[in-house]
């Protein structure tokens, strides 16, 4: 954190009418707003890494930071939202972009929010640019639609209801080729996205316990009977391999992807499919009529909604 002094002087003719010193902080955190800092202004970085001036004010016997320009601070570091949908509920005109959320915990997380697709509220949890899912690393850096390909490893405890997949041939997503989401039967943490269940068959595991699949290109629910998108082979949970390792990488960093424990260890899996069927109950690995989207197009976004 760096501190600099910025002095603004208002001059008319030869008379000095006002002088305000603004503390410059090269960070999101302006520090504590209390009696000592009451009335003082600071220059910080906002959620988009642009400059933003805050002032410490006292309202209803409580000290708080507010924007000098009067804009809402919801979704900023000083006032994190619960999730992306919370921002939309309070600011219906909110645009896609980075926001700070806290999910009612003590730790704020910076995430990319899609505020437009299917009424918005989606958190970007992964981005890939190759057909290989097993080599995609995970780390705590916020996933960005134009950023480096990786999974987020800091959102494992986020409860999700919808899991969305968008595939395009360009980064700007204007050439989207497939776009859908699974509505889960009940909310579950992102770190439990993959499951091994009867719905996926004895030899497979993947995204199961699904209520319906919606095709977002046609804005149509295409299958109410879909039960499992098979991610890969049904390794035993006790082995920690395959789909179980994928779940682990959604809650802790995996620098070499989910299929390697270390850079020098043997690769234990070569699967990683996200798919759906409009007519069958199961899709993905080991299905003759499967839709292996990840092998057809090379730009994929993966998003979740609470």
Show the tokens assigned to 245.
């390792």
Residues 7 and 19: their CA atoms lie apart, in Å, by: 7
Q: Which among 206, 218, 225, 228 has a CA at the least distance from the CA of 276?
A: 228
pLDDT digits (tens, 9 = 90+) for 48-77: 999 999 999 999 999 999 999 999 999 999
Residues 260 and 152: their CA atoms lie apart, in Å, by: 17
Q: What is the pTM of this model?
A: 0.86
Q: Are 265 and 271 in contact (CB under 8 A)?
A: no
pLDDT digits (tens, 9 = 90+) for 72-103: 999 999 999 999 999 999 999 999 999 999 99
Sequence length of the chain is 306
The full set of domains in the chain, from first to last, is 1-79 (no CATH), 80-305 (3.90.215)
- pLDDT grade for 201, boundaries at 50, 70 and 90: confident
Instruction: Tokens 């989606």: give the residue.
Output: 122
Beta bridge partner(s), residue 215: 180, 220
DSSP, res 266: P
Residues 246 and 231: their CA atoms lie apart, in Å, by: 10
pLDDT digits (tens, 9 = 90+) for 245-282: 999 999 999 999 999 988 878 888 888 989 999 999 99
Residues 279 and 299: their CA atoms lie apart, in Å, by: 25
Res 286: pLDDT: 55
Residues 115 and 135: their CA atoms lie apart, in Å, by: 29
For 50, list phi and psi in degrees, rounded to 5: -90, 165
pLDDT digits (tens, 9 = 90+) for 101-121: 999 887 999 999 999 999 999
3-state secondary structure of 36: coil
Res 170: pLDDT: 86
Show the tokens assigned to 98.
């980075």
Residues 73 and 158: their CA atoms lie apart, in Å, by: 23
Beta bridge partner(s), residue 302: 126, 165
CA angle, 83 as apex, 71 and 275 as ends, to 5°?
A: 130
């Amino acid at each position: 954190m760096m501190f600099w002094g910025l002095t603004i002087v208002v001059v008319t003719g030869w008379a000095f009418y006002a002088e305000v010193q603004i503390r410059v902080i090269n960070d999101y955190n302006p520090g504590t707003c209390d009696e000592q800092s009451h009335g003082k202004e600071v220059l910080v970085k906002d959620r988009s890494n642009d400059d933003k001036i805050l002032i410490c004010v006292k309202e209803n016997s409580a000290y708080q930071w507010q924007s000098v320009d009067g804009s809402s601070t919801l979704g900023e570091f000083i006032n994190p939202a619960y999730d992306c949908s919370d921002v939309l509920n309070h600011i219906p005109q909110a645009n896609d972009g980075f926001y700070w959320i806290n999910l009612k915990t003590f730790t704020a997380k910076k995430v990319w929010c899609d505020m437009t697709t299917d009424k918005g509220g989606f958190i970007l949890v992964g981005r890939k640019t190759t057909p290989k899912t097993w080599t995609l690393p995970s780390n705590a850096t916020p996933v960005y639609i134009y950023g480096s390909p990786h999974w987020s490893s800091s959102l494992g405890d986020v409860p999700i209801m919808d899991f969305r997949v968008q595939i395009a041939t360009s980064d700007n997503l204007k050439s989207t080729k497939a776009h859908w989401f699974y509505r889960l039967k009940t909310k579950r943490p992102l770190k439990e996205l993959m499951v091994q269940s009867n719905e996926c068959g004895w030899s497979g595991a993947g995204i199961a316990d699904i209520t319906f699949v919606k095709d977002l290109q046609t804005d149509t629910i295409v299958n109410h009977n879909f039960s499992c998108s098979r991610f890969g082979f049904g390794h035993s949970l006790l082995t920690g391999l395959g789909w179980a390792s994928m779940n682990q990488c959604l809650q802790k960093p995996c620098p070499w992807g989910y299929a390697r424990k270390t850079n020098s260890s043997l690769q234990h899996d070569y699967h990683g499919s996200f798919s759906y069927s409009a007519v069958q109950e199961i899709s993905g690995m080991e299905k003759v009529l499967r839709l292996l989207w990840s092998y057809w197009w090379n730009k994929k976004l993966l998003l979740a909604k609470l």
